[in-house]
Structure 1
């Protein structure tokens, strides 16, 4: 209800606002600081693993690049979204594109590119058209745009966890981390959809403690546990994986990443090119309404 920045801020104003208390300040820092944490973890892995020559590590390389990318892109989107109505849309197009690439980066099975493209296309459509024309329905559809790719990517993990519950495998540290990751993923979705706690006390959580800030924190903590699970699985299951399947190839890992980036940029470019034709009055009115 308060704390909004001016909708025509300059780039410098946007940067300076990250050091002032607005309703976006914590959103910016809860993703900017974790970017450096994931970069630090990535640098440690670079010193211990041969990402250049060992193809077994290439899926991990893709994953680490993207868990560094998505919080940084989100932080930039929250920082610069008030430069103009068009800038706001473009910022979040890139934010959704990075999230879609993150779903690709999990590389849990052979069709992640479908999830990636579904996510970024649907998010851009919802943000560009549905949110402007049908603001009361857009929240449900935007939540579905997060949930559907997550479920699509996670079915193998659900199967693995259920198999262990039925006694087909023994508990491990990786499964514990996977369980924590799913728990925080659920919290992330719940907070995004519910608008709690600010729904219960309007105005009291404008600056600190509103649902989007908590959603950011849960998302990052969930990614941390996911990363720990991936690293544990990679080490403990290497012998089994290398004996039961071929080593990852460049086209199936880094090649898919490059393809995903190019297709995402193309989709973002198409929707961004259409922004000048968006009615200025409705766009500005919606921005003021938020």
Structure 2
């Protein structure tokens, strides 16, 4: 599981779960990858629980609460995948499939928030608005399926694996962001306009790049910087969504609980079913690049 440009700091391959867990407290080339997502996951989880407690007192806050839940889920899954990345057998691949599934859920959570709080006012009630969430649910399942399938291609067809994994997150991002792109084009800029809910939150689309020095293999390589930028993007996105929710209160129709929770529930059920199929069909000893 070596990456170009990362010269040293690798953990022993085929490590046990306990060895992987202990490694997060040791300096290796995954330590900062892990903590740059585990710490923000704790922060987003705190925000999620705080808003969940006040859910009944704030009408229309359901999409925001679910979005915050996915904000906590994807860095937690990412940190866990990096922690277990040295497992032997199919364990490493399964960990990253869970990571991809969580990222797909985050994309759907972003779509829920956009639909509820950030849609262009002139698009409310339009055909596109009506189909936006159902298509986002479908895209979430397709994203999970294509990204997980890329793990099966990784050894024999690495280029196709990277291409399919990138497509799995770029396409849903483009679709989910159509309302934001429209508002950027036709109105004043908003704080989180350039934050992507898909590909730029997904560092595994990119190789680690470091200077020709083993020191940068442990701290300072591009994967770690990308983790930091991804989390900052999520914070900006959250700030923009919160501003829209506050400023446009009363001008937007409140989404129904069925539409909000049903959409995320269907997307999660489909993605978990796909994840189960991938778990069952991963080879016992998949080859590593």
Q: TM-score, normalized by length of structure 2? A: 0.83
Gaps of at least 5 residues in structure 1 are: 165-170
Runs of 4+ in 1 over 3 A off after TM superposition: 43-47, 52-55, 184-189, 191-197
Are 1:70 and 2:74 an aligned pair?
yes
Are 1:206 and 2:217 an aligned pair?
yes
Are 1:86 and 2:90 an aligned pair?
yes
Between 136-145 and 206-215, the greater mean CA deviation after superposition: 136-145
Are 1:232 and 2:255 an aligned pair?
no
CA contact (8 A) 2:184 2:190 kept: no
> In the comparison of the two structures, how many residue pairs are matched?
263
TM-superposition CA deviations, 1:135-181 (whole Å, max 9, x none): 133223322222111111111110110012xxxxxx3xxx4312352
Are 1:267 and 2:274 an aligned pair?
yes
TM-superposition CA deviations, 1:154-213 (whole Å, max 9, x none): 11110110012xxxxxx3xxx43123525x988667x76664642x53645211111211
Q: Which residue of 2 aligns with 1:41?
A: 47
| d(CA) in 2 for partners of 1:150, 1:208 | 29
The 3 A distance-change label for structure 1 pair 197 and 125 is: closer
Q: CA deviation at 1:271?
A: 0.9
TM-superposition CA deviations, 1:7-50 (whole Å, max 9, x none): 22122111110010111111110100001111233344346xx4
RMSD over aligned CA atoms reads 2.3
Q: Which residue of 2 aligns with 1:119?
A: 143
Q: Which residue of 1 aligns with 2:252?
A: 241
Q: Secondary structure at the match of 1:178?
A: coil
Q: Which residue of 1 aligns with 2:23?
A: 17
Q: Which residue of 1 aligns with 2:192?
A: 178
| d(CA) in 2 for partners of 1:229, 1:2 | 40
The one of 22, 33, 50 aligned to 1:27 = 33
| d(CA) in 2 for partners of 1:125, 1:274 | 10
CA contact (8 A) 1:27 1:212 kept: yes
Higher helix share: 1
CA contact (8 A) 2:15 2:86 kept: yes
Q: TM-score, normalized by length of structure 1? A: 0.83
CA contact (8 A) 2:8 2:217 kept: yes
Q: CA deviation at 1:217?
A: 0.9
Are 1:100 and 2:104 an aligned pair?
yes
The 3 A distance-change label for structure 1 pair 12 and 140 is: same
Q: Which residue of 2 aligns with 1:219?
A: 230
Higher relative contact order (CA 8 A, sep 6+): 2
The one of 232, 237, 261 aligned to 1:254 = 261
Q: Which residue of 1 aligns with 2:120?
A: none
